[in-house]
Structure 1
Amino acid sequence: MAELDGLTEFLTVARERSFTRAAAKLGMAQPTLSQTIRALEDRLGVRLLIRTTRSVSPTEAGQRLLQVAGPRLEEIRAELATMRELREKPAGSFRISAIDFTVDYILWPKLAPFLQKYPDIKVEITIDYGMTDIAASGYDAGVRLGGVVAKDMIAVPLTPDSRFAVVGSPTYFECNPAPTTPQELTGHRCINLRLPTYGNTYAWEFEKDGQELRVRVDGQVVFNGIFQVLNAALDGFGLAFIPETMAAPHLEAGRLRRVLEDWCPYWEGYHLYYPTRRQSSPAFALLVEALRYRGSDKATQSL
Structure 2
Amino acid sequence: MARPDLFDGISEFLAVVRRGSFRAAAGELGVTPGAVSQAVQTLERRIGLPLFHRTTRHVALTEAGERLLGEVRPAADAIAGSLSNLASLSSKPSGTLRLLTHPIIAREVLTPMLPAFLTAYPDIAVEVITDTKRHDLVESGFDAGIRIGEFIDQDMLTVRVTPPFSWVVVGSPAYFAAHGRPTTPDDLAHHVCLRFRLPPSGDLYRWEFEREGIAVAIDPPGQLTSDDSALLLAMAVAGLGLTYASSQNIRRELADGRLETCLDNFAPAQDALYLYYPRSSRLQPKLRVFIEACLRSMRERSRG
Query: Cα 1:272–1:88, aligned 2, differ >3 Å: closer, same or farther?
Result: closer
Query: Cα 1:212–1:287, aligned 2, differ >3 Å: closer, same or farther?
Result: same
Structure 1 gaps, min length 5: 1-78
Written as runs of structure 1 = structure 2, the 5 A alignment for 1:196-235 is: 196=199, 198-235=201-238
After TM superposition, where is structure 1 displaced by more than 4 Å over at least 4 residues in a row? Answer: none
Shift, 1:254, TM fit: 2.5
Amino acid at match of 2:111: W
Written as runs of structure 1 = structure 2, the 5 A alignment for 1:1-303 is: 83=86, 85-86=88-89, 89-196=92-199, 198-292=201-295, 297-300=299-302
Amino acid at match of 1:290: A
Query: Cα 1:132–1:231, aligned 2, differ >3 Å: closer, same or farther?
Result: farther
Query: Cα 1:221–1:137, aligned 2, differ >3 Å: closer, same or farther?
Result: farther
Amino acid at match of 1:183: D
Contact 1:149 1:273 in 2 (8 A): yes
Mapped to 1, the partners of 2:268 and 2:242 lie a distance apart of: 18
Q: Percent sequence identity over matched residues?
A: 34
Q: TM-score, normalised by structure 1?
A: 0.65
Shift, 1:169, TM fit: 1.7
- The RMSD of aligned alpha carbons is 2.7
Query: Cα 1:197–1:220, aligned 2, differ >3 Å: closer, same or farther?
Result: same
Mapped to 2, the partners of 1:298 and 1:218 lie a distance apart of: 40
Query: Cα 1:205–1:227, aligned 2, differ >3 Å: closer, same or farther?
Result: same
The count of corresponding residues between Structure 1 and Structure 2 is 222
Mapped to 1, the partners of 2:260 and 2:179 lie a distance apart of: 12
Query: Cα 1:225–1:137, aligned 2, differ >3 Å: closer, same or farther?
Result: farther
Alpha-carbon deviations, 1:231-264, whole Å to 9, x = none? 1211222111112133232233232222111211
Q: Secondary structure at the match of 1:135?
A: helix
Contact 2:215 2:268 in 1 (8 A): no
1:54 match: none
Contact 2:97 2:286 in 1 (8 A): no
Shift, 1:301, TM fit: 6.6
Shift, 1:89, TM fit: 4.6
Amino acid at match of 2:301: A
Alpha-carbon deviations, 1:259-291, whole Å to 9, x = none? 111211342321111122222422122112222
Shift, 1:87, TM fit: 7.7
Query: Cα 1:160–1:248, aligned 2, differ >3 Å: closer, same or farther?
Result: closer
Shift, 1:85, TM fit: 5.0
Structure 2 gaps, min length 5: 1-81
Amino acid at match of 2:179: N
Contact 1:186 1:216 in 2 (8 A): no
Q: Secondary structure at the match of 2:222?
A: coil
Amino acid at match of 1:121: I
Mapped to 1, the partners of 2:209 and 2:201 lie a distance apart of: 19
Contact 2:169 2:262 in 1 (8 A): yes
Query: Cα 1:131–1:87, aligned 2, differ >3 Å: closer, same or farther?
Result: closer
Query: Cα 1:136–1:87, aligned 2, differ >3 Å: closer, same or farther?
Result: closer
Amino acid at match of 2:299: D
Query: Cα 1:167–1:287, aligned 2, differ >3 Å: closer, same or farther?
Result: same
Mapped to 2, the partners of 1:155 and 1:171 lie a distance apart of: 41
Mapped to 1, the partners of 2:256 and 2:275 lie a distance apart of: 32
Q: Secondary structure at the match of 1:201?
A: coil
Mapped to 1, the partners of 2:188 and 2:135 lie a distance apart of: 30
Mapped to 2, the partners of 1:206 and 1:282 lie a distance apart of: 41
Alpha-carbon deviations, 1:16-42, whole Å to 9, x = none? xxxxxxxxxxxxxxxxxxxxxxxxxxx
Query: Cα 1:291–1:253, aligned 2, differ >3 Å: closer, same or farther?
Result: closer
Mapped to 2, the partners of 1:231 and 1:84 lie a distance apart of: 50
Give 1 or 2 for the bigger CA radius of gyration. 2
